[in-house]
Amino acid sequence: MRWIRSAPEALPKIGHLTFECHNLKDEMKNLIYRGYLWDYAAMEDGKATKGISDRKNDP
């Protein structure tokens, strides 16, 4: 029965990590959209699928 008492204490930590993971995912998408990670996103199996792209200008 000890695990029942400890479960609510673990929930905020899990939620906090999930929130940070979503923020990180959104930041990665933003960087890819802006062109900073475009070449990385265009890779398949460690090989580029297209040439080096020009980075988009910051808004």
pTM to 2 decimal places? 0.39
Cβ contacts of residue 43 below 8 Å, gap of 6+?
Answer: 49
pLDDT in tens, 17-40: 677 778 888 888 887 777 776 666
Distance CA 44, CA 47 (A): 5
- In the structure encoding, which two tokens stand for residue 21, read together? 């993971």
Q: What pLDDT is recorded for position 41?
A: 60
